[in-house]
Chains A and B, each alone.
Chain A
Amino acid sequence: MLLIRNLHAGYGDVPVLWGVDLKVEHGDIACLVGSNGAGKTTLLRALSGLLPPNSGSIVFEGRELAGAEPERILGAGIAHVPEGRRLFSAMSVRDNLLMGAYLRRDGAHAIGRDLERMYGLFPILRERQAQDAGTLSGGEQQMCAVARGLMSAPRLLVIDELSLGLAPAVVDQLCDALRRLNQEGLTLLVVEQDVATALELAQHAFVMDTGRVTRSGSSETLRNDPAIREAYLGAI
């Protein structure tokens, strides 16, 4: 579904990605793990069009998207839930969700139905729908951000730092919701610093280090990989 090949990107003269290769299959939950500065967020920024890559290709459902504008990428079916939520804090939860549907042209009816679906997925958002998004707790904000991403009716949802700063119970709740979405046919690519959580959620995982994908495979394989255990899970 998503095939990234030999992607190079960086900021100004500073290269960050040194030839990233990554493949996400349709119907998969894939996760991307790696330490700080490995290039995870940069890869996601390149994927969503916020940072034009220097070279390489990003093919999504047969369409080349490297260097395309964010709107085109979103239109192609890739939605991005950014690190740190990035909600419109002075706008209501409901307006934030509707903003997610900004590019859609399939009418108010379909958008209203999806809004209801989001409230079904995260019931707390229904209670909070008239509140300013800035007044939500961290977990609620993350739910709002995920729901906002979903409102564009994507086929691939990309989430940056899913669990960062959230209580474990909230992380579990989010993971449950993501699994449910996955069962309904959504493909997910999740960036996660907490490797244990990531490997539990995902079927496939990619490990990034200094701007490259250094290891990949099924979560099961990686969980038993001694090098991964030592570097990220704490070898016992």
Chain B
Amino acid sequence: MPTGVDAYWLRLGTTMLMYGVLAMSWNFIGGMAGYPSFASAAFFGLGAYAGAVAQKYGLPMVVAWSLAGAVAALFAAALGFALLRLRGHYFAIASLVVAEVLREIVNSATNLTGGGMGLNIPVPQMASIADQARFFYYAMLGVAVLAFGAVLVTQRSRLGFGLRCIQQNESAADMLGVNTTLYKVNAFILSGVFVGVAGAVYASWVHYIEPPDVFDVLYSIKPIVMVLLGGAGTLFGPLIGAALFLSLEELVWRNYLSVHTGVLGLLIVLLVLFLPKGILAFRLRRT
């Protein structure tokens, strides 16, 4: 598909896949387990910097991406054990500040990260700009396929079943022998690892990152809107939501550049009021 289409569409496609990864990842913790995490930006930024720093020290690109995923997963595990004791709003707020803390740390660790000056990532040696664009499209596609595979496996496993129970009634799930702490931490790790890799791919793709860019709180909020748009806890909801969201972003927001965050807020309110279960709920409401 990408051959012969122009750069704009290739870029849009790569962004779409990245959004898909973010949305599918959030679905693990937010959709399946019902924990409203705002930590996506933290995983994204952490992955971006882990990948970038690894490449700065000479690791090959793909190795650096994998390393970013591992770092994000470890971070999610440690963070999960601490934060997943909180529920509801408390968990949401605690997860929200994580990205801010990381941003400050990255800002001050100038030797390693370049601090506020940002960090340049080596440009891969390829024949043309178009080849590069295609390469990153396929890289992001690979991450998206991995994430989708993980969703598929999880939904059919005991983990997925257990997470749905936790979402509906955590103490009852506990009582029936679901190891809720372990399951929640696993969901959190799954919600972090692919976002970390996507962050690293993004860093390589744009060649230059700085803290306010990759730790942007919108990376936490957008996936939530996408999942709510598509249908929380479902298989295709996050992907549909990501496609829909990106279309909105492109078609509508470009026309309202100065008020586009206002439009985002309005969209969330309308979603919660009129479509709390997402687009897919229309289909499910047959019975």
Interface residues, chain A, with chain B CB atoms under 8 Å away: 48, 50, 69-71, 74-75, 80, 82, 86-91, 99-100, 102-103, 148, 152
**Contact in complex: A91, B176 (CB < 8 Å):** no
B172 within 8 A of A: yes
Chain B residues with CB below 8 A from A100, complex form = 176
Given the known interface contacts A71-B177, A75-B177, the answer about A91 and B172 at a Cβ–Cβ threshold of 8 Å is no
**Contact in complex: A103, B175 (CB < 8 Å):** no
A37 to B208, CA, bound (A): 62
**Chain B, 148-178, contact with A by CB distance < 8 Å: what is the 0/1 string?**
0000000000100110110011011111111
How many residue pairs link A and B with beta carbons under 8 A? The number is 53
A75 to B179, CA, bound (A): 12
A152 to B169, CA, bound (A): 18
The answer, among B158, B168, B171, for a CB contact under 8 Å with A91, is: B168
**Contact in complex: A87, B175 (CB < 8 Å):** no
**Contact in complex: A103, B176 (CB < 8 Å):** yes
Interface residues, chain B, with chain A CB atoms under 8 Å away: 158, 161-162, 164-165, 168-169, 171-179
Chain A residues with CB below 8 A from B178, complex form = 71, 102
User: Across chains A and B, which 10 residue pairs bring their CB atoms closest together, nearest first?
Assistant: A103-B177, A86-B172, A71-B177, A88-B168, A74-B177, A80-B175, A102-B176, A70-B174, A86-B169, A102-B177
Given the known interface contacts A91-B164, A99-B165, the answer about A86 and B179 at a Cβ–Cβ threshold of 8 Å is no
**Contact in complex: B175, A82 (CB < 8 Å):** yes
Chain A residues with CB below 8 A from B171, complex form = 50, 82, 86
Given the known interface contacts A88-B168, A91-B168, the answer about A50 and B177 at a Cβ–Cβ threshold of 8 Å is no
A174 to B214, CA, bound (A): 58
A75 to B176, CA, bound (A): 10
**Contact in complex: A48, B175 (CB < 8 Å):** yes
Shortest beta-carbon distance from A223 to chain B in Å:
32
A148 to B162, CA, bound (A): 15
**Contact in complex: A82, B168 (CB < 8 Å):** no
A48 to B176, CA, bound (A): 10
**Contact in complex: B176, A99 (CB < 8 Å):** yes
A89 to B173, CA, bound (A): 12
A152 to B179, CA, bound (A): 15
**Contact in complex: A70, B175 (CB < 8 Å):** yes
A49 to B198, CA, bound (A): 40
A154 to B35, CA, bound (A): 31
Closest-by-CB residue of A relative to B179 is A71
A103 to B165, CA, bound (A): 14
Chain B residues with CB below 8 A from A152, complex form = 176-177
A80 to B171, CA, bound (A): 11
A71 to B178, CA, bound (A): 7
Shortest beta-carbon distance from B155 to chain A in Å:
14
**Contact in complex: A88, B169 (CB < 8 Å):** yes
A88 to B171, CA, bound (A): 11
Chain B residues with CB below 8 A from A74, complex form = 175-177
A74 to B172, CA, bound (A): 12
Chain B residues with CB below 8 A from A75, complex form = 177
Chain B residues with CB below 8 A from A103, complex form = 176-177
Chain A residues with CB below 8 A from B169, complex form = 86-89
